[in-house]
Amino acid sequence: MKILVCISKAPDTTTKITFKDNDTHFNKDGVQFIINPYDEWYALVRGLELKEAAGSGSVTVINVGTAENDPVIRKALAIGADDAVRIDSEDKDPFNVAKQIADYAKDKGYDMILTGKETIDYNGSQIGGMIAEFLNLPYISQASKLDVNGNIATVIRDIQGGKEVLEVEGAFVLGAAKGMAEARIPNMRGIMAARTKPLNVVPSTAGEDLTEIKSYSLPPAKAACKYVSADNPGELLDLLKNEAKVL
Amino acid sequence: MKVDEIFTFGDKFYKMKTDLYQHHDYYGVDELLTEEHKLIRDSVRAWVKKDLSPIIEDYAQKSEFPKQIIPGLAEIGAFGPYIPEEYGGQGLDQISYGIIMQELERCDSGVRSCASVQSSLVMYPIWKYGSEQQKKKFLPKLASGEFIGCFGLTEPDHGSNPGGMLTNFKDMGDHYLLNGAKLWITNSPIADVAVVWAKNEEGRVHGLLVEKGMEGFTAPEIHDKWSLRASITGELVFDNVKVPKENLLPGRSGLGAPLSCLDSARYGIAWGVIGAALDCYDSALRYSKERIQFDVPIASFQLTQKKLAEMITEITKAQLLTWRLGVLRNEGKATSAQISMAKRNNVDMALKIAREARQIHGGMGITGEYPIMRHMMNLESVITYEGTHDVHLLITGLDITGLSAFRNDGK
């Protein structure tokens, strides 16, 4: 079983978000980066589980980025990926990221390409679908369960009010959501092994970026909680109608 | 911390808690670490948050060692991380060892003590002074957690003065006959092997590997501790124990041998206690921003800020001191006196921070709802074991003056 897992990096969830250059750039100073949790906890770990269950095969992680991404790639290797590929390019534009991953993957014969359902920084949810389109493969988004039997994969998607069960034959691209696997913490053996696992840097095949971020702004600060006495439902209605304007 | 769920282990109930800790690195000391150091640190921290901090308070309250964590401790490299890979270790550097100890002690000094003893006081002497056969027999099992080890130096009447030890062995031709007793021994009741320091007939100190089940060897547990309650402590009693001759550590004799092990353990403590201090500071900082008195968070009061600001200042100083000591130790240049200075300074710093943090938490600080009182009680042992606070001061005094003040009888 030959599996490709796309990983991206994202600011740690406790990061204090700030911007610079007149709010046109995210300020990376002092920011700790992690592997996007959907990529790491679900896509990568499920890929490893499938390989382990099959008893053979390989899990390759791929990332589009500069050398500053190497620590998060090394962590993916410590968790258990066999090797890693980094496409040496800025990861600014989703189209270019997907295009470059597709360019790399097209003649490698992967049985599946797994991504997280989205990355927790920009929440674009675009890469998986675009890779599938470039490679002319089926794409399944928001998948919470993935099982493989021979050439057939069975996938469960959480949908509004229930679940959807799908079967897909042959190679596919999948966006992994919560529930697909349980996060693995690298153990010391894994960290030691990651030292010598291959991290291949390949040249960028990026074209022109199709999108560009013009400016950033923070969401409005959360307003303080207002307490209304249980004896006074009229006041609550009044506040909801006239102040919060939700009724 | 808040109680999330109740789980059962055997026939007992345990409360699970969520660990809200966030790391504090005021001077960017992280930039002095390698990417691998940070990966090790983050992995150990993630393991602690997942498997250790949810249960630690309950085990400490019940005064029990959570034995089920032993395989996990081995997996995250807490047992002999600097021992070469050929003997089951990871061959990591000294800073990695320090980082692992710090992440464990961030949760609890008792768990760190278990790992310190296994690494520095059991695996270290076997690696440094053991025969090839002893290394092959014991080190891989100690690294994997299949074996737990302990270290017997301190005796009921000989703590700061280990050279006065009474435990002794006689050469009986085909074996040694060991007699005596050791006290305050971390891990002893559950240990598979004890590294025991005893005098031969000429009064020379040697290390002996005493194995569980040897006739005449017992390791009773010490009960009713108010400190290190999640770690198991006991005695070692040797009543005419026949120790095979191949169990003598051949590589070194004299008091310098056990003292070199203590250098390694004290070095780990210097790193470890910063973890306890960080946990107290982190909890106090969060609590002071949430706790409202006189209509404002208590963090807005100058006296609270003084406490918090001094805490992070002292933590930052200790982080830098310890990082430098790690570099010296990696280069094989750290002296015993330098290690003493760091152990003494950092434990004292952590204990003071625990006390100040307790005040910030007010009455809540005395409950198991917060880790403060547990850390504080733990640190009361840490400031005494592995060389007391006062003895370490005298080591610095001796080092800078050349004059020993350890005894006042002129000897």
**Which tens digit of pLDDT belongs to each residue from B319-339?**
999 999 999 999 999 999 999
DSSP-derived pairing of the beta strands A199-203 and A83-88: parallel
Q: Where in chain B is the domain with CATH 2.40.110.10?
A: 149-247
Using CB atoms, which residue from B22, B38, B77 is nearest to A188? B77
The B-side interface with A (CB below 8 A) comprises 22, 28, 35-36, 38-40, 42-43, 46-47, 50, 75-77, 81, 85, 90-92
Contact A53, A191 (CB under 8 A): no
> Could you tell me the pLDDT band of residue B12, with boundaries at 50, 70 and 90?
low
- Tens digit of pLDDT for each residue in A25-53? 999 988 989 999 999 999 999 999 999 99
Q: Which two tokens stand for residue A46?
A: 């499920």
Mean of per-residue pLDDT scores for chain A: 94
Q: Where in chain B is the domain with CATH 1.20.140.10?
A: 256-401
The shortest CB-CB distance from A191 to any of B22, B36, B50 is to: B36
Contact: B50, A14; criterion CB under 8 Å: no
Residue B408: pLDDT band with limits 50, 70, 90:
confident
**H or E element at residue B287:** helix B256-290
Q: How far apart are CA B262 and CA A232, in angstroms?
A: 68
Averaged pLDDT for residues B101-109:
98
Q: Which residue of A has its CA nearest to B26?
A: A30
Q: Is the pLDDT of residue B17 over 90?
A: no
Q: Domain B256-401 is of which CATH architecture?
A: Up-down Bundle (1.20)
Fill in the DSSP letter of residue B60. H
Domain boundaries, chain A: 2-216
- Give the E-state strand segments of B118-174 in sequence order: 149-152, 168-171
pLDDT tens, position by position, B390-401: 999 999 999 999
Q: Residue A55 has what pLDDT?
A: 95
Q: Which residues contact B156 (CB under 8 A, 6 or more apart)?
A: B181, B183
Contact A33, A72 (CB under 8 A): yes
In sequence order, what are the residues at sequence separation of 6 or more whose Cβ sits closer than 8 angstroms to the Cβ of residue B41? B33, B99, B102, B103
| Contact residues, chain A, for B28 at CB < 8 Å | 30
What is the C-alpha separation between B181 and B199, in angstroms, rounded?
12
pLDDT computed for residue A224 by the predictor: 77
Provide the pLDDT confidence category of residue B1 given band limits of 50, 70 and 90.
very low
Which one is the CATH code of A2-216: 3.30.930.10, 3.40.50.620, 2.30.110.10, 3.20.20.70?
3.40.50.620
Whole-angstrom distance, CA of residue B128 vs CA of residue B252: 9
Is B211 catalytic? The answer is no
Q: What region does B258 belong to: left with phi over 0, alpha with psi -120 to 50, or beta?
A: alpha
For residue A110, give both structure tokens: 């992967």
Q: Best interface-test mutation with B: which of A9, A32, A185, A196 has the largest number of B CBs within 10 A?
A: A185
Answer yes or no: is the ipTM higher than 0.90: no
Residue ranges in chain A modelled with pLDDT below 50: none
CB atoms within 10 A of CB A67: 10
Amino acid identity for residue B54 in this structure: P
Q: What is the pLDDT of residue B56?
A: 97
Query: How far is residue B31's CA from residue B16's CA, in Å, rounded to a whole number?
Result: 34
Across the A/B interface, how many CB contacts are shorter than 8 Å?
44
Residue in B with minimal Cα distance to A186: B43
Q: Can you tell me which residue has the tokens 């001191």?
A: B321
DSSP code per residue over A74-116: HHHHHHT-SEEEEEES----HHHHHHHHHHHHTTT--SEEEEE
Is the Cβ of A195 closer than 8 Å to some Cβ of chain B? yes
Domain B2-144 in CATH 1.10.10.10? The answer is: no
Nearest to A74 among B35, B46, B90 (CB): B35
The CATH H-level superfamily of B149-247 is: Butyryl-CoA Dehydrogenase, subunit A, domain 2 (2.40.110.10)
Phi-psi region of B223 (alpha: psi -120 to 50; beta: other; left: phi over 0): beta
